[in-house]
Structure 1
Amino acid sequence: MPIASINPYTGRTLRRFTEFSWAKTERLLAQAHRAAAQWRATTFAERAAGLRRAAALLRERQEELARLMALEMGKPLRDGRAEAQKCATCCEYYATHAEAFLADEEVKTDAGRSFISYAPLGVVLAIMPWNFPLWQVVRFAAPALMAGNVGLLKHAPNVPQCALALENIFHDAGLPPAAFQNLFINNETVARLLADPRVAAVTLTGSERAGVAVGTEAGRHLKKAVLELGGSDPFIVLADADVPLAAKTAAQARMINAGQSCIAAKRFIVEKSVKAEFVQLLKGHLQALRYGDPLAEATDYGPLARPDLADELSRQVADSVAQGAKVALAGGQPRPGATQFDPVILTNVKKGQRAYLEELFGPVALVLTARDAAQALALANDSPFGLGAAVWTRDVARAEAMARQLESGAVFINGLVKSMPELPFGGVKHSGHGRELSYVGIREFVNQKSVWIAKAAEPDTVKTE
């Protein structure tokens, strides 16, 4: 795939970029490796000063950044501004808390003193997707940099200007240029980097296929890997839920980023007695949303990021309908090859259909019917994915009990699933392994070192006359 900015709304190519040769990539890696030795020697206060300046620049440049995201991957301007602001908050969060998160942890043993220390690993390679082109990067970079690591970014090939904008922000914030560098490279070069001993670890947010490829290479070379992959998040609505609020939130949850989000709610598992009401309300909310140019302030959702993604989503919908799913809201593409994809609701989603098993990465809401809470839980867990989940009920104690049984990395009760600096983010099963964010995320790319110190020897007793 070429490295190019192609406006998904107009189809116009805005800029093209040349892939880095291995010689250039290796030169940047050497710089990063040298910078890692220097950056790890800085104090938390010095690192925090840079992250706080980066946060200020993210806020100052939010209009420019929002415009870039609109042009490169179709995110509406107001969503782009919110993403830039969220990135700023994340930088400030780690600037404030990293030192405490990585302070020596005293442990009581048979020693005179023992503790766990946390030291940076070195160069971390980040392979990032296009759907949240700032947030996905910053939620890796902020904790990694504050821990004393340095970063190499291999961004998605359709958001190159977003990658350069982030590189500029960290450099303009005063970080050493080699502490955070963008790489315009292909998958073969990624494999060569993972084979190089100067790369200490890798983090990937992407598809299952990409996760298998990167995880295999990382394992072959004994590199630490954090993989945040796909999701087909269940959104459970029990009979005693506030159905109007659940339906309103469901529409928002399905349409995050035009449905192109790993933690967007995708499978709406609704108790039979409230299913008709829920579907009717959901349909109304989705129909009220306005499609348009992501550069227009009135736009609620823009195009999908690439024509091939919209075409594949159409095939998933058509195949599922052929396999027995029912169309409750007909949207989709106006024609093959179009990036416009209007919301779709499929009901009667059952085993044997593509919609039941696969992740549908776009504005398609899948409605499954449950006879009771027990079946809703079983349906939710009957998926190869396990990223996020939501439970809607007025019985919070029951919801909490269900949350403990849901096979997912996060459960939100009576609320919209989202990522935030305070809570760990990641999944189980085919949704990957490892965690980002929170104190858990910053400890993924450090050496958790045990230090044991013997008790001081008792002084000899000297007898005197």
Structure 2
Amino acid sequence: MSADVTTTGTVSTSTVTTTNPADGTTLASYPSMGPAEVEQAVALGADAARGWGRVPVADRAALLTRFAAHLRADAERYAALVTAEMGKPLAQARGEVEKSAVTADYYAARAATILAPREVEIDSPAGVSAFVTPEPLGLVLAVMPWNFPVWQVMRFAIPTLAAGNGVLLKHSPNVTGTALALAEAFERVGFPAHLVTALVLVEDDVPDTVGGLIADDRVAAVTLTGSNRAGEMVGAAAGRASKRSVLELGGSDAFVVLSDADVPAAAAAAVGARFTNSGQSCVCAKRFVVEAPVAEEFTRLFLEGVEALSVGDPTDPATSVGPLARGDLRAALQRQVDQSVAAGATLAAGGHSIDGPGSFYEPTVLLDTGPGMPAFDEETFGPVAAIAVAADEDEAVRLANATPYGLGLSVWSRSTERALGVARRVTSGAAFVNAVVASDPRVPFGGTKRSGYGRELAEAGILEFTNQRTYWVSG
């Protein structure tokens, strides 16, 4: 995901200031933590994690149930904070909070089963028994982005806490209010003090502080959702320290429409897949690869759907596309559009910033795209769709694979067998047939290639930060 976890809205040498991207107004300022405060957070967090790891799984699960209830009871406050800090339409922000509550319920119900000791049959020598137990690692550092300020924290933190670990959260500075509110929420429902700690850091301090934390013996592992640049830094530091790491990075998902697809259904789903969260999602469909026989119909219906989108105030229930989270993101998107048009793409809709306060950008559609254009080769983190026409199924597979990323894939066909055949030829962490790519607590989530490694959610997510410890008992 291209949300740069080390970039803020407005930052001074001693404070982090959050800004409303819908109107440019200042929301709040927070004092940055110095070295002594970071050290205290690590010391207290590591101590809290040690104690938490000894708490029975059933007791951890009971707190997760309470946490889910709290999220639902206070959903409006959290959703409003998300919308104010990064511009997500309010209805989508509410959905983010509810999805987090569903995930807490999921792990509350299943943690005991997943974490139970697993007996292993030993044929010889006689009298030997063996079992494997997933045990917590300790304090886990999480470097998180701004585009799903609640959900992306929760999809890591909930299973990690269920496994018996502690959380040290370095959230993106432009959602500092959300970060602090989430850390406070865990303690409010009964989790131990300091088990979840949010670090507030000015931009210049982030690289050295994160590098130092990864090297610290009290930090057991690290996870990052963010840009490839940030992932390279975190992955390298984790490798030097020989520590477990999970990286969820960029995505340029292909949405493949085959010649036998239900085109109206595919086009309607494609609009939602691209423009949800104003296009600021790692698993937003970004490249629409359409077989030639249905390309004209798909493009016409897709453009009609884009024209019907309502851009504006994210607190307005009628709004479907809000602002981009920051002005620099809008400038980067404009560069990608301009360079793609210069390289031969056809601008069919949008293509420009919207005048006035805030960081709004027109929903944009580029036709005649393909390899060699930024809109096709790079991750576009905003409301820009790139449509490419494939002569046949083989070319559709080639175009879908023509990316350094490998996060999600969506394939549309009236034949499940044909769609699955295409999906198996395209490298990705997940493949969805006649459905939009999404995360769900019941299935693993993560990428391949430049989209990162490791898995979140489901059984894999709770086991990522555990020690699969073998016990061998003789006599």
TM-score by shorter chain over 0.5? yes
- Counterpart of 1:413 in structure 2 is 433
Is 2:157 aligned against 1:141?
yes
Residues 292 and 334 of structure 1: CA distance in aligned 2, closer, same or farther (over 3 Å): closer
- CA shift, 1:4, in A, is 2.2
Write out per-residue CA displacement over residues 390-419 of structure 1, whole angstroms, 9 at most, x where no aligned residue: 000011011122222221000010011100
- Percent identity between the aligned chains? 49
- Counterpart of 2:38 in structure 1 is 25
SS at match of 1:267: strand
- Counterpart of 1:124 in structure 2 is 140
- CA shift, 1:338, in A, is 5.5
Write out per-residue CA displacement over residues 197-248 of structure 1, whole angstroms, 9 at most, x where no aligned residue: 0000000000111100111111111111100001000000001000000000
Is 2:355 aligned against 1:299?
no
CA contact (8 A) 1:4 1:159 kept: no
RMSD between aligned residues: 1.3
Q: Distance in 1 between matches of 2:445 and 2:351?
A: 32
The within-5 A match list for 1:325-336 is 325-334=345-354
CA contact (8 A) 1:242 1:393 kept: yes
- CA shift, 1:69, in A, is 0.9
CA contact (8 A) 1:291 1:300 kept: yes
Q: Distance in 1 between matches of 2:384 and 2:358?
A: 16
CA contact (8 A) 1:311 1:337 kept: no
- Counterpart of 2:248 in structure 1 is 228
- Counterpart of 2:210 in structure 1 is 190
- Mean Cα deviation higher: 151-160 or 376-385: 376-385
- Counterpart of 1:459 in structure 2 is none
Residue 315 of structure 1, aligned match among 335, 338, 357: 335
Query: Structure 1 counterpart of 2:244, which letter?
Result: K
CA contact (8 A) 1:310 1:337 kept: no
Q: Distance in 2 between matches of 1:175 and 1:338?
A: 38
Query: Structure 2 counterpart of 1:199, which letter?
Result: V
- Counterpart of 1:205 in structure 2 is 225
Residue 27 of structure 2, aligned match among 7, 11, 14: 14
- Counterpart of 1:400 in structure 2 is 420
Q: Distance in 2 between matches of 1:353 and 1:391?
A: 23
- CA shift, 1:144, in A, is 0.4
Q: Distance in 1 between matches of 2:162 and 2:299?
A: 46
SS at match of 1:25: helix
- Counterpart of 1:4 in structure 2 is 17
CA contact (8 A) 2:370 2:399 kept: no
TM-score, normalization: structure 1?
0.96
Query: Structure 1 counterpart of 2:400, which letter?
Result: A
Q: Distance in 2 between matches of 1:113 and 1:374?
A: 53
SS at match of 2:290: strand
SS at match of 1:356: helix
Q: Distance in 1 between matches of 2:297 and 2:230?
A: 39
> Which segments of 5 or more consecutive residues in structure 1 lack a partner in the other structure?
457-465
- Counterpart of 2:5 in structure 1 is none
- CA shift, 1:164, in A, is 1.2
- Counterpart of 1:391 in structure 2 is 411
- CA shift, 1:331, in A, is 3.7
Q: Distance in 1 between matches of 2:151 and 2:456?
A: 12
Write out per-residue CA displacement over residues 266-312 of structure 1, whole angstroms, 9 at most, x where no aligned residue: 00000001111101101111110111111122211100000000010
SS at match of 1:159: helix
- CA shift, 1:332, in A, is 2.9
- Counterpart of 1:95 in structure 2 is 108
- Counterpart of 1:462 in structure 2 is none
Is 2:258 aligned against 1:242?
no
- CA shift, 1:337, in A, is 9.1
- Counterpart of 1:167 in structure 2 is 183
The within-5 A match list for 1:362-381 is 362-381=382-401
Q: Distance in 2 between matches of 1:247 and 1:11?
A: 34
Query: Structure 2 counterpart of 1:177, which letter?
Result: A
The within-5 A match list for 1:417-428 is 417-428=437-448
TM-score, normalization: structure 2?
0.94
**Structure ID, larger Rg:** 1
Matched pairs, number: 455
Q: Distance in 1 between matches of 2:285 and 2:279?
A: 8
> Which segments of 5 or more consecutive residues in structure 2 lack a partner in the other structure?
1-7
- Counterpart of 2:466 in structure 1 is 446
Q: Distance in 1 between matches of 2:374 and 2:424?
A: 28
- Mean Cα deviation higher: 259-268 or 42-51: 42-51
Q: Distance in 1 between matches of 2:429 and 2:352?
A: 30
Residue 290 of structure 2, aligned match among 241, 250, 270: 270
Q: Distance in 1 between matches of 2:309 and 2:371?
A: 30
- CA shift, 1:351, in A, is 2.0
Q: Distance in 2 between matches of 1:298 and 1:401?
A: 39
Q: Distance in 1 between matches of 2:309 and 2:364?
A: 12
Write out per-residue CA displacement over residues 90-131 of structure 1, whole angstroms, 9 at most, x where no aligned residue: 111111111111112233343432332110000000000000
Q: Distance in 1 between matches of 2:156 and 2:362?
A: 32
